[in-house]
Structure 1
């Protein structure tokens, strides 16, 4: 049974699941009824950062145009352009055992493509979630439902895997960015 987290909660991942190495992070969402005339295209991006919280190699910024990090330990499933249907809209495969020692944190984000031009924001998105699944047996270990706390934001840091004392933990972040991907890439050191 999955552990449901609230914003700000942190939980051990590998210590309480001995032998866990391969997971996938599924992210999903729906869009509210919206009469803006343009489709929504939400995108998952992953920032693999050093201890200072910065991406020190562009290859460690994983998204639909760069589907894996420097050594292939973090792999993006590909871009879902509509988000239609039930279940995960995009997935990220992670091999915890092969993430380079220089990477201390793996941050999972969702942004709205071309949000300003399309006049879109996360106030028009519902049922957004992240879940961590054991790849070996398909068991959902952790789930974080983002809730409906956003209005003007065009990007969200959903959660972070991070190393602590040799183990991997997960933090349910849920922080919004009004300047979307631009703000995220700036804060993670890419611009």
Structure 2
């Protein structure tokens, strides 16, 4: 049975699941109906970070135009342009045993594509979540529902997988950002 987390909660992933190496990180959301006339396109991006919380290069920024990073240990399975239907909207595969030693954290984010131009924000998004599954058994291990009401934010850092000694843990972050993907990219040490 999956463990449900609340904002700021940290939990062991590999210690409580011995032998776990391959995980699926599923992210999902629904968009509220509004009269802006534009479709929503939410995107999952992943940042591979060093011990200082920075990405070493653009290769450590995984998104719809760069689907694989970390020497193949992290793979974005593709862009879902509508987010319609139930289940995960976008999925990231992570082979924890293959993540380069220089990577201390793997940050998972959701942004709204062209949010400013379309006058969209996370106040118009509901039921956003992240969940971690054992890839081999497809069983859900951890789930974090972002119940927070983001009103003006156009990007959210959902959570992080991070190293703790030889083990991997998950931190449910749920922090909103204004400035969309560009502000996240800068915060993680890359040029836009």
Which range, TM-score by smaller chain?
over 0.9
Residue 117 of structure 1: SS of its match in structure 2?
helix
TM-score (structure 1 length as normaliser): 0.99
2:106 is aligned to: 106
**Cα-Cα RMSD:** 0.6
**Contact persistence 2:109–2:155 (CA under 8 A):** yes
CA pair 24-155 structure 1, distance change in 2 beyond 3 A: same
Q: Where in structure 1 are there 5+ consecutive unaligned residues?
A: none
Residues 23-62 of structure 1 correspond to what in structure 2 (within 5 A)?
A: 23-62=23-62
Give 1:70 shift.
3.7
Report the CA distance between 1:148 and its aligned residue. 3.6
Match of 1:64, SS state, is: coil
Q: TM-score, with normalisation over the residues of structure 2?
A: 0.98
Tell me by how many angstroms 1:38 deviates.
0.2
Q: Distance in 2 between matches of 1:48 and 1:139?
A: 25
User: How many residues are matched?
Assistant: 191
SS in structure 2 at match of 1:131: strand
Contact 1:126 1:148 in 2 (8 A): no
Residue-by-residue CA offset, 1:51-74 (whole Å, 9 max, x unaligned): 000000211100000001040100
Distance 1:36 1:144 in 2: 29
Gaps of 5+ in 2: none
Does structure 1 residue 15 correspond to structure 2 residue 27? no
Please list the CA deviations of residues 160-189 of structure 1 after superposition, one character each: whole Å capped at 9, or x if unmatched: 000011100000000000111111001100
The ranges of structure 1 where at least 4 consecutive aligned residues each deviate by more than 3 angstroms after the TM superposition are none
| Within-5 A mapping of 1:156-167 | 156-167=156-167
